[in-house]
Amino acid sequence: MNPAPPVVVSGVSKTFQRARDRSPVEALKDVSLNLRANTFVTLLGPSGCGKTTLLRMINGLIKPDSGQVLVFGEPPKPGPRIGFVFQSFRLIPWLTVRNNVGFGLSLQGVDQGEKNDRVEYYLKLVGLSRFADVYPHELSGGMKQRAALARALVTEPEILLMDEPFASLDAQVRELMQMEMMRLWSERKSIVLFVTHSVDEAVIMADQIVLMGPRPGRIVETIDVTLPRPRWDAEIRMRRDFVELRGYLWNRIREMVMRDPSSDFYTGESDSI
Ligand SMILES: Nc1ncnc2c1ncn2[C@@H]1O[C@H](COP(=O)(O)OP(=O)(O)OP(=O)(O)O)[C@@H](O)[C@H]1O
Ligand SMILES: [Mg+2]
């Protein structure tokens, strides 16, 4: 018998209440997902379809109303085996960039010499060595995001949950970071669950794309991506299978948004979905 996958999400539902009128929001409905070892999974879907909620559930920050999440065979709890890059960066304002990045290693009791080496390595990787001694408020949005990324990578977790980690980077830095992330991951494989709104980014990085839809938040399709790696040269975007997959995903997302009455782009259109 095969061992259970490291992350098993089975039949999970979660309903929130809107603060405004206490009306219910079905953030996740009957979501099931397995994350296998050494796989890079991207989570794609329109705003409000429950991507962040799913990540927070896998990290143990919120509990499902029904269904079950198991991480390494147990209910999840935040800790060093799971790294989290939050959609909002959540840097600690009174610590310098260097100390923000090293914070998790201090908690783990890693010795000072190794801690310094690892912090320097990851600061360099995200291009922030020169800003190691400044405080978060002195950084641009993109720099804060890179600091948050270094902070999550530095503990070298077995599972890395990344909530739109490149969203506030400019286009060039974003591509560089995609390349670095893929290089790093190919050298030291782990489970990555990576949320993005960019269809190109989802295709370029993933072994598997999980497409989610809103109201209720659910998984609508899971697609294995078999494009050869590495994928960082520009030709990949010209391959026929890349273009077709990209077009397919775009259409699915467009349909979902146009069919969603609460979306600004609602047209009532009801293509098959
Ligand atoms: N703590 C909460 N209280 C009330 N409603 C919530 C809460 N957290 C999330 N929601 C609602 O649940 C739904 C899913 O939210 P979630 O943040 O998971 O979506 P998302 O897919 O990450 O969206 P985005 O792409 O905009 O980040 C949304 O309608 C959101 O308003
Ligand atoms: Mg989100």
Angstrom distance (rounded) from CA 41 to CA 28: 18
Mutation pick for ligand 1 pocket among 13, 22, 49, 85 (CB with most ligand atoms within 8 Å): 49
Å from CA of 213 to ligand 1 middle: 12
Angstrom distance (rounded) from CA 90 to CA 147: 10
Average pLDDT over residues 34-47: 95
102 HSE (CA, 13 A, CB side): 21
The closest alpha carbon to 177, from 204, 208, 207, 210, belongs to 204
Q: Which ligand is nearest to the CA of 27?
A: 1
User: What are the pLDDT digits (tens) for 127-178?
Assistant: 899 999 999 999 988 889 889 989 999 999 999 999 998 888 888 888 888 8
Angstrom distance (rounded) from CA 172 to CA 6: 34
In this predicted structure, what is the pLDDT of residue 96? 96
Smallest CA separation from ligand 1 atom 31, residue: 48
38 HSE (CA, 13 A, CB side): 4
Domains detected in the chain: 1-81+172-273 (3.40.50.300), 93-156 (no CATH)
Which range is least confidently modeled, 116-120, 130-134, 169-173, 265-269? 265-269
Angstrom distance (rounded) from CA 164 to CA 93: 21
Average pLDDT over residues 53-64: 95
Pair 146, 126: CB distance under 8 Å? yes
Contacts of 228 (CB under 8 A, 6+ apart): none
Smallest CA separation from ligand 1 atom 30, residue: 48
Angstrom distance (rounded) from CA 133 to CA 120: 12
105 HSE (CA, 13 A, CB side): 24
Main-chain phi, psi angles of 145, to 5 degrees: -65, -40
* pTM as predicted: 0.91
Å from CA of 163 to ligand 2 middle: 7
Å from CA of 204 to ligand 2 middle: 20
Protein residues whose CB sits closer than 6 Å to any atom of ligand 1: 16, 18, 25, 27, 47-53, 87, 217
In this predicted structure, what is the pLDDT of residue 271? 47
Between 264 and 21, name the one with better pLDDT.
Answer: 21
In this predicted structure, what is the pLDDT of residue 29? 97
pLDDT band at residue 8 using 50, 70 and 90 as cut-offs? very high
In this predicted structure, what is the pLDDT of residue 269? 56
Mutation pick for ligand 1 pocket among 9, 13, 25 (CB with most ligand atoms within 8 Å): 25
Å from CA of 50 to ligand 1 middle: 6
In this predicted structure, what is the pLDDT of residue 87? 79
Angstrom distance (rounded) from CA 144 to CA 147: 5
Helices (H), the chain: 51-58, 97-108, 112-125, 141-153, 171-187, 199-205, 240-259
Q: Which ligand is nearest to the CA of 50?
A: 1
